Structure 1
């Protein structure tokens, strides 16, 4: 089962990206997907060809299978997690 961590970070020197969170345990195997804001991508790249996010997410067999399973779960209303906005804020609201 996958869980997600969403952070907005600034790319450092030589394209280095750092994610810091107490949710990651040392030695854990993770899969990283980087989504670049479109206007920044166009400004900061010499290539005018941009890969659509959906195309990227469907570009591997494992991703396609995972996304299709997620869509099927939504359509059949199985394996869903429900919560109220208050529960979401208690669990995931990041306070400065």
Structure 2
């Protein structure tokens, strides 16, 4: 059986990552997967810049049009899909 430990840590000097937990006994074999938050975009000149999520979503004409249409639909209450929690459960069987 697999179990997991999730921690957010900061990479230290020389790329060192430390996970501290009392849930693992010394000598336990584990598999480590590192997921890196991607809030930094690399530019062509290899400089890092932070890019606002909204700016990114509006960065193409197609995205801008889609998002503006969605906002307009919400404001005018048109083309909306609504359902009850029971309907959602029935459709997607999320309860066991």
Q: TM-score, normalised by structure 1?
A: 0.45
Of Structure 1 and Structure 2, the greater strand share is in 2
Of Structure 1 and Structure 2, the greater helix share is in 1
Q: TM-score, normalised by structure 2?
A: 0.45
Structure ID, larger Rg: 2
